[in-house]
Amino acid sequence: MNNSQRPIARKSGLVVQEVPDEVLVYDLESNKAHCLNQSAAMIWKSCDGNNSVSEIAKLVESQAGGKVTEDFVWLAIDQLSENNLLEKPVASSFEGTSRREVIKKIGLASVVAVPVIASLVAPQSALAAASCTCVNPPSCSNTPNLGCPSTTRCNSSGLCAP
């Protein structure tokens, strides 16, 4: 585990919306939506390429008002990397340990909510309303930035979706 790494949060190709206690992120490249809880969002915002993992831990600790370990930060970075929310992917720091075990270990020791990044599934009503309608696969590539689940597939319901 290299705690001197200075991860950088990805900014381009994302739509970000803050709501109380969480940050919502839409990835325009993968057409996936994520929900970051407060802890994950704080860590993501601290990934500016200047802060090391230890520094991020201290920063988050001062904001969250509870003990934050480097493992805690790594847990968030791991998920951020997996969901392509960092400029460059970061190798998982929990080789040989399942995330569930890590969460259990950190969760028991921490009063601050464990960082979680959840995936959001688009409701069908949203897809139909969003004009994700298509004639054939190429017509899905003509609907950039609409957040349709696919830009290459036109399904049997006439929607740009798998």
Partner 1 sequence: MSHPQEITDEYRFYLLRKRLAENLILGAFRGFRREGIEPILIKGWAADRNYPASRPRFFGDIDLAVSAADFDAARKLISSGSTIGGVDLHRELEHLDTLGWESLISNSQVVKLEGEDIRILCAEDHLRVMCVHWLTDGGERRERLWDIFYAVQNRPAEFDWSKCVDVVSETRRQWIITSIGIAHKYLDLDLSGIPFAEEARDLPVWLTRCLEREWARNLEIRPLHSQLKYPLGLLRQVRKRIPPNPIQATINCEGDFRKRTRVGYQIRDMFKRILPGIKRISNTIVEKPS
> For binding to partner 1 (CB under 8 A), which residues are involved?
15-17, 19-20, 22, 24-26, 33, 35, 120-123, 125-126, 128-138, 143-148, 156-158
Cα Dmax for the chain? 54
Residue 116 or 122: the one with the smaller Cβ distance to partner 1 is 122
Comparing CA positions, the residue from 79, 78, 77, 39 lying closest to residue 59 is 39
The CB-of-2 to partner 1 minimum distance in angstroms stands at 33
C-alpha 116, offset from chain centre: 9
Q: How many residues does the chain have?
A: 162
Choose between 20 and 162: whose C-beta lies nearer to partner 1. 20
How many angstroms separate the CA atoms of 110 and 23, rounded? 21
In terms of CB distance, is 98 or 125 closer to partner 1? 125
Nearer to partner 1, 97 or 141 (CB): 141
Residue closer to partner 1, measured from CB, 30 or 131:
131
Tokens representing 77 are 């970075």
**Residue 129, amino acid:** A
- The sheet with strand 14-19 has its strands ordered as 14-19, 22-27, 32-37, 117-120
Shortest CB 55 distance to partner 1, Å:
30
Q: How far is the CB of 143 from partner 1 (least distance, A)?
A: 7
In the complex, minimum distance from the CB of residue 45 to partner 1, in angstroms, rounded to a whole number = 17
In angstroms, give the least distance from the CB of 82 to partner 1.
20
- Calculate the alpha carbon distances from 108 to 99, 102, 105 in Å: 14, 10, 6
